[in-house]
Structure 1
């Protein structure tokens, strides 16, 4: 099963969690221990976030107390309930609760009773939790990150461009760019049968099609105003500069595609607002995103394998922890190294018997 594969991927031998076992290279024996209690503070920007941590906790023989976000209070509880239907005893190790973030009395008790605390959120949210976690409790944080995509000229042919645009539109539209894995910019290579400017038009068409199948969620007045203001700014630029083309949903602010020759990486205002920027070669991209290296997470890539490995190496040096196929940016596998770290080993401590 996938869970056994995950245990083998990180521990090599899952039985290290059950008993002392001989080490593979070094002399002696070792045993792995998970935390007695993990407290996980979840963000509410995307649904499904608790699933991984609940699974990782159970695999390390740990109980987990999850703090649901007020913005997304249901998914974790529903997942726990589905486990209860299959294995009631196992489900007793899971509790999903809610409290107002920053409640010092509650957090002092909860974090003080925990062996490990996992927190998702903005830098501010992470830092606020950090203040409340005792120094002897393991703290694992997942803060704000940025992602983008690259599209090689090989994927910009008359035969492939529609499929490429469809995959790109999916990456933008799923979760409305609210998650760290969603792209803010697509860098499209020149030299293909379809130019980056033409690709932007194909992307706009696919964004419109997908919006009819998967409508964008409701946005606040503030968010809508931000999109309209951005559109207005670029419409003025478009009128004065042939290096800019803007495509937008016919009604409302459902989606926006901006083609812009300026290659600078600019974070999106989210809610399906995406920029397409041309590059002569993908080798130019590392220099363009170097300033966000501390926040870089996923890079969606439509590149042939003979070019992908070199590009992936450059991205890895800048801190990217995941190079995914285009169209799968928002669907990481269970085995991924979230923020470049292990999912199980970060929770585990070891005891060695020396010879």
Structure 2
């Protein structure tokens, strides 16, 4: 059975045997959305960001304040510029200077499979569909539905003026539907897949493979965001710089946000050999963990994860070639060893810390599973050389401490908005 929480612009929970009514609602809504100028859409989303920041019921939820910043008009304009080169392509045919005009037409209905590792992920995915004037049906983890509904609930009250006309958030809301259904239901999964003009899939290897194998329309575009791994590397110059200890506060936030469940969460920290012993740097790292805001310092840890953390601590403390620094509780864990490898993630703010002779030592570890590498490499030439080598091996994003979770485009090497439209041509003569 399919449960719908939002469709046709109405926040109603209802059971459906199939997607027919939902598709009708979203199709009607996306046609209304497509008629809006892209600048009016961006203006509405900008207001949405400001409104959710003012809402005390949701503005303290981790990740919501970042959504507010991400929805700023300047950021959305930049995203459109990167993806479309000129956002006017979304509003009509534009001359290209070579005897024909081009337009970016929305693909139609985007079906989103949202993973359960990041509460705000569904909002970002839906917003990208909005910025490409597509309708959305998002299959959400049930536990995240209330958060996404609370964010979208701000849309109906928004009204903006653009070029002498008034546009409202209702015109966006009508193009969005939120649903849940049992993922193991082959019937519901196939019906969902067959409604899509474009599929966006987030998930682990097994889930991605299973969804990708579902039957789909011949013209359907499939965009996959599969499992990824992230880590950090700091060189000697960065470690010995005046601002290094302060930068650790930014780095531990990257570790703590989403409790290391996101693909952009770092699991290993490589430290180039410096005048500071690695154990001393690890102690500074522990102090930075202790300075985290309470909401990040103390997070709920499932029983199974607690057991994994306790076992890892014991293993490292009993080893002659390893060490562990941690508080009395399970709030964070620093595991030290000298093996130059990418460790299997534990999560729960467990960071493997390793000393290396040179940042070049970790380049062979990089493959297409690597999403983000947080680097501390002050020298521009060295930084660019490192970035060129690791990205050639498969890494997608080279960032700095405190920005690992910033949702920038491209993401995972994909220009998502560009993939969400069809580039059509009108010959002039």
Q: Which range moves more in the overlay, 133-142 or 93-102?
A: 133-142
Mapped to 2, the partners of 1:295 and 1:133 lie a distance apart of: 26
* Residues 290 and 297, structure 2, Cα contact 8 Å, conserved in 1: no
Structure 2 gaps of 5+ residues are 1-72, 159-168
User: Does residue 127 of the first structure (1) align with residue 209 of the second (2)?
Assistant: yes
Q: Which position in structure 2 is the counterpart of 1:250?
A: 328
**Cα displacement (A) at 1:153:** 1.6
Mapped to 1, the partners of 2:405 and 2:278 lie a distance apart of: 23
* Residues 185 and 276, structure 1, Cα contact 8 Å, conserved in 2: yes
Equivalences for residues 42-121 of structure 1 within 5 A: 42-86=114-158, 87-121=169-203
Mapped to 1, the partners of 2:284 and 2:246 lie a distance apart of: 10
**Cα displacement (A) at 1:209:** 2.6
* Residues 57 and 64, structure 1, Cα contact 8 Å, conserved in 2: yes
Secondary structure at 2:290's aligned position in 1? Answer: helix
Mapped to 1, the partners of 2:260 and 2:197 lie a distance apart of: 33
When normalised by structure 2's length, the TM-score is: 0.76
Q: Which position in structure 2 is the counterpart of 1:235?
A: 317
CA 1:158–1:29 in structure 2 vs 1: closer, same or farther (change >3 Å)?
closer
User: Does residue 344 of the first structure (1) align with residue 421 of the second (2)?
Assistant: no
* Residues 114 and 122, structure 2, Cα contact 8 Å, conserved in 1: yes
Q: Which position in structure 2 is the counterpart of 1:172?
A: 255
CA 1:70–1:78 in structure 2 vs 1: closer, same or farther (change >3 Å)?
same
User: Does residue 280 of the first structure (1) align with residue 352 of the second (2)?
Assistant: no
The structure 2 residue matched to 1:329, chosen from 395, 404, 410, is 404
**Cα displacement (A) at 1:158:** 7.0
Secondary structure at 1:150's aligned position in 2? Answer: strand
**Cα displacement (A) at 1:127:** 1.4
* Residues 83 and 415, structure 2, Cα contact 8 Å, conserved in 1: yes
Mapped to 1, the partners of 2:215 and 2:150 lie a distance apart of: 28
Deviation digits for residues 270-321 of structure 1, max 9, x if unmatched? 111101111111122102x13xx12110011111133211111111111111
Q: How many residues align?
A: 343
User: Does residue 18 of the first structure (1) align with residue 91 of the second (2)?
Assistant: yes
Mapped to 2, the partners of 1:176 and 1:80 lie a distance apart of: 25
Equivalences for residues 308-323 of structure 1 within 5 A: 308-323=383-398
User: Does residue 215 of the first structure (1) align with residue 297 of the second (2)?
Assistant: yes
* Residues 118 and 140, structure 1, Cα contact 8 Å, conserved in 2: yes
Structure 1 gaps of 5+ residues are none
Q: Which range moves more in the overlay, 34-43 or 102-111?
A: 102-111
User: Does residue 140 of the first structure (1) align with residue 217 of the second (2)?
Assistant: no
Segments ≥4 residues shifted beyond 4 Å: none
When normalised by structure 1's length, the TM-score is: 0.91
Q: Which range moves more in the overlay, 303-312 or 139-148?
A: 303-312
Q: Which position in structure 1 is the counterpart of 2:78?
A: 5
Q: How much is the aligned-residue C-alpha RMSD, in angstroms? A: 1.8
Secondary structure at 1:53's aligned position in 2? Answer: helix
Q: Which position in structure 1 is the counterpart of 2:56?
A: none
Mapped to 2, the partners of 1:34 and 1:169 lie a distance apart of: 40
